[in-house]
């Protein structure tokens, strides 16, 4: 969808629908709403007076007019003014755009009078754009029957108040970059595993690297062998697809600046291996590369936004299958770090490939390491489907990530990583074991990862819950969520601001 910003008055825009935004309890119409009300012969005032529209959060009422340039007026509610949040704006815009699409509207225009609202001006704009773009997302490349029904809203025109034009235009441009990156991540995650192999994921990374200051290098099996990445190779051994270690670097920062390493789990399919998963819902394990997809998307957004940061993205990519050479429970692997791992459960494969990628990240002497992984079912049991788990060693970074989570609505909650948890991953015959059983599974998973990050400040995000949603949730339609792309971009933008 194209988003344009226009000066002038809403009623003059050539479009199919006018979107008008209201807070609860607004008795008198003002600005563009009053203008359009007058031109429509009082339709809006009528419907408000009759109680047909109360501006409850995400309430949408459609009015049809014969006298206006646009045939439709969509009234959108944001709830009580003093309780307004960006999240409510995102949800309301997702809802109204979905309804407009449902009634085959191709073009809509909205007036955003920012002074009316109690959320910061920039946030109003970004939340509206995020809600609209993300709410309209759908994954349809494989639909061949009834494609003509799949019409999209093609254009949204925003008409700001006269003083806000420049602010709105800039914010729209930035938010569009971020929302498009989220949709890119959603596309990668939604793609079926036969069309999203490690090689294809690596191709996608090369696509990201077409941008200025972005470069991509892909380590192949031979190089992994030479580097002693036997944990990653071990997981890949059961599959015919060659594994890839994707290295995507963005050098937007000062020369010589230590990078932030973003490490994303890239299991393009996780069958569990010999410790095979039940058949039910195994299809969802095509999403086990959501962490890797997020890394690609964050680097894409950072480059498009020209953020002055240095990022190294590392995505170990492989399938976890049960071919004749597959890992077996009880096998011992010597990892890239030199530490040995006893594989008690081949379904705890994410931590194996991440072990090698994390210790490889240390060669960049990063200022911080953040890993993102659909690591454990236990994290979903603990926090539910909508919240990511956060564990790590650096309090400052955790605080900054919490703030970014609050701002973006991509929820995270910290789990503890106390000393005694580390006892649980000691192996009888090797340094560590890759599974400590069910109890505290999200934490023992993180404890395992912590062994491979050296002394670098490190935070782990377990996104097994929110990476994929089984029901429509406003601006996160059923399917891949693209989490935590907005959260990480916000974190990076805040970090840049702090350094100034």
Q: Which is nearer to ligand BES, 270 or 490 (CB)?
A: 270
351 noted as active-site residue? yes
350 binds ligand BES (CB under 6 A): yes
Residue from 32, 350, 440, 465 binding Zn ion (CB under 5 A): 350
SS3 for 13-72 is CCCCEEEEEECCCCCCCCHHHHHHHHHCCCHHHHHHHCCCCCCCCCCEEEEECCCCCCCE
CB-nearest residue to ligand BES: 377
Short-list 37, 476, 13, 493, CA closest to 252: 493
Residue from 16, 187, 342, 347 binding Mn ion (CB under 5 A): 347
Q: Which is nearer to ligand BES, 226 or 439 (CB)?
A: 439
Q: How far is the CB of 450 from Zn ion (least distance, A)?
A: 18
Binding range to Mn ion, per CB under 5 A, among 48-56, 229-237, 264-272, 456-464: 264-272
Calpha distance 247→118 (Å, rounded): 43
270 binds Mn ion (CB under 5 A): yes
Residue from 288, 304, 319, 462 binding Zn ion (CB under 5 A): 288
Q: Binding mask 420-439 vs ligand BES (x if CB under 6 A, - otherwise)? A: ---------------x----
87 binds ligand BES (CB under 6 A): no
CA 124 to chain centre: 20
Among candidate residues 88, 91, 176, 351, the one labeled active-site is 351
Q: Note the maximum CA span of the chain.
A: 82
Strand, coil or helix: 464: coil
Calpha distance 201→205 (Å, rounded): 6
Q: Which is nearer to ligand BES, 253 or 266 (CB)?
A: 266
SS3 for 246-291 is EEEEEECCCCCCCCEEEEECEEEEECCCCCCCCCCCHHHHHHCCHH
Binding range to ligand BES, per CB under 6 A, among 35-43, 357-365, 377-385, 419-427: 377-385
| Count of residues making up the chain | 500
Q: Which is nearer to ligand BES, 36 or 391 (CB)?
A: 391
Q: Which is nearer to Mn ion, 130 or 288 (CB)?
A: 288
Residue 9, Cβ density class (10 Å: 0-12 exposed, 13-18 middle, ≥19 buried): middle
**Using CB distances below 5 to 8 A depending on partner kind, what does residue 329 bind out of Mn ion, ligand BES, Zn ion, none?**
none
347 binds ligand BES (CB under 6 A): yes
**Using CB distances below 5 to 8 A depending on partner kind, what does residue 378 bind out of Mn ion, Zn ion, ligand BES, none?**
ligand BES
Residue 163, number of CB atoms within 10 A of its CB: 9
Q: How far is the CB of 494 from Mn ion (least distance, A)?
A: 33
Would you say 224 and 233 are in contact if contact means Cβ atoms under 8 Å apart?
yes
Q: How far is CA 75 from CA 149, 159, 498, in A?
A: 25, 16, 39
Binding range to ligand BES, per CB under 6 A, among 52-60, 251-259, 340-348, 414-422: 340-348
Q: How far is the CB of 468 from ligand BES (least distance, A)?
A: 7
Calpha distance 318→2 (Å, rounded): 36
Residue from 270, 304, 319, 371 binding Zn ion (CB under 5 A): 270
Strand, coil or helix: 468: strand
Residue from 157, 204, 376, 408 binding ligand BES (CB under 6 A): 376
Site for ligand BES in 449-468 (CB under 6 A): 464
Q: How far is CA 318 from CA 65, 206, 223, 363, in A?
A: 56, 17, 15, 22
For residue 43, what are the contacts with CB-CB under 8 A and spacing of at least 6?
Answer: 37, 63, 65, 73
Under rule CB under 6 A, how many of the chain's residues touch ligand BES?
Answer: 15
Calpha distance 111→106 (Å, rounded): 17
306 noted as active-site residue? no
For 498, the token pair is 């702090």
Q: How far is the CB of 241 from Mn ion (least distance, A)?
A: 16
Q: How far is CA 347 from CA 28, 215, 316, 454, in A?
A: 61, 32, 16, 25
Cis amide leading into 493 (omega within 30): no
Q: Which is nearer to ligand BES, 314 or 353 (CB)?
A: 353
Residue 419, Cβ density class (10 Å: 0-12 exposed, 13-18 middle, ≥19 buried): exposed
Would you say 401 and 459 are in contact if contact means Cβ atoms under 8 Å apart?
yes
Q: Which is nearer to Mn ion, 347 or 490 (CB)?
A: 347
270 binds ligand BES (CB under 6 A): yes
Q: How far is the CB of 100 from Zn ion (least distance, A)?
A: 38
Among candidate residues 80, 277, 334, 398, the one labeled active-site is 277
Q: Binding mask 281-320 vs ligand BES (x if CB under 6 A, - otherwise)? A: -------x--------------------------------
DSSP-assigned letter for residue 81: G
Binding range to ligand BES, per CB under 6 A, among 131-139, 167-175, 207-215, 344-352: 344-352
Q: How far is the CB of 278 from Mn ion (least distance, A)?
A: 12
Q: Which is nearer to ligand BES, 392 or 466 (CB)?
A: 466
Binding range to ligand BES, per CB under 6 A, among 4-12, 22-30, 369-377, 402-410: 369-377
Residues that bind ligand BES (CB under 6 A): 270, 288, 345, 347-350, 374, 376-378, 380, 435, 441, 464
Residues serving a catalytic function are 277, 351
Q: Which residues bind to Mn ion, rule: CB under 5 A?
A: 270, 347, 349
């Amino acid at each position: 969808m194209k988003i344009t910003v226009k000066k002038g008055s809403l009623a003059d825009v050539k479009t199919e629908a006018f979107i008008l935004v209201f807070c609860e309890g607004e008795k008198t119409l003002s600005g563009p709403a009053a203008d359009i009300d007058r031109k429509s012969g009082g339709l809006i005032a009528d419907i408000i007076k009759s109680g047909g529209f109360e501006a409850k959060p995400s309430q949408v009422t459609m009015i049809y007019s014969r006298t206006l340039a646009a045939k439709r007026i969509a009234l959108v509610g944001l709830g009580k003014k003093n309780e307004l949040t960006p999240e409510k704006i995102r949800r309301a815009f997702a809802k109204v755009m979905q309804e407009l699409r449902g009634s085959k509207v191709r073009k809509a225009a909205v007036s955003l009078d920012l002074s009316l609202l109690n959320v910061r001006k920039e946030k109003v704009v970004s939340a509206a754009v995020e809600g609209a773009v993300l709410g309209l997302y759908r994954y349809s490349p494989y639909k061949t029957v009834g494609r003509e029904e799949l019409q999209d809203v093609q254009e949204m025109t925003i008409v700001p108040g006269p003083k806000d034009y420049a602010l709105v235009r800039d914010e729209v441009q930035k938010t569009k970059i971020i929302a498009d990156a989220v949709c890119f991540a959603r596309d990668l995650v939604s793609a079926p595993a036969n069309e999203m192999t490690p090689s294809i994921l690596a191709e996608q990374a090369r696509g990201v690297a077409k941008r200025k200051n972005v470069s991509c290098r892909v380590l192949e099996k031979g190089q992994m062998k030479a580097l002693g990445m036997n944990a990653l190779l071990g997981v890949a051994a059961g599959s015919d697809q060659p594994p890839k270690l994707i290295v995507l670097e963005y050098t937007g920062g000062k020369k010589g600046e230590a990078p932030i390493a973003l490490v994303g789990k890239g299991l393009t399919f996780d069958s569990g291996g010999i410790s095979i998963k039940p058949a039910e819902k195994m299809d969802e394990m095509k999403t086990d590369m959501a962490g890797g997809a997020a890394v690609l998307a964050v680097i894409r957004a950072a480059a498009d936004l020209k953020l002055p940061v240095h990022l190294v993205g590392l995505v170990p990519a492989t399938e976890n299958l049960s071919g004749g050479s597959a890992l077996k429970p009880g096998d011992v692997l010597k990892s890239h770090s030199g530490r040995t791992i006893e594989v008690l459960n081949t379904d705890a494969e994410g931590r194996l490939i991440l072990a090698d990628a994390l210790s490889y990240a240390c060669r960049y002497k990063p200022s911080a390491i953040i890993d993102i992984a659909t690591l454990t079912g236990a994290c979903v049991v603990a926090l539910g489907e909508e919240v990511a788990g956060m564990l790590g060693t650096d309090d400052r970074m955790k605080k900054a990530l919490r703030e970014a989570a609050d701002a973006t609505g991509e929820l995270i909650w910290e789990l503890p990583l106390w000393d005694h948890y580390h006892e649980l991953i000691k192996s009888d015959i090797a340094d560590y074991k890759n599974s400590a059983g069910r109890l505290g599974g999200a934490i023992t998973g993180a404890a395992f990862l912590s062994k491979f990050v050296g002394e670098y400040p490190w935070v782990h995000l377990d996104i097994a819950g929110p990476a994929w949603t089984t029901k429509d949730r406003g601006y996160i339609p059923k399917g891949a969520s693209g989490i935590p792309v907005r959260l990480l971009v916000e974190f990076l933008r805040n970090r840049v601001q702090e350094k100034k």
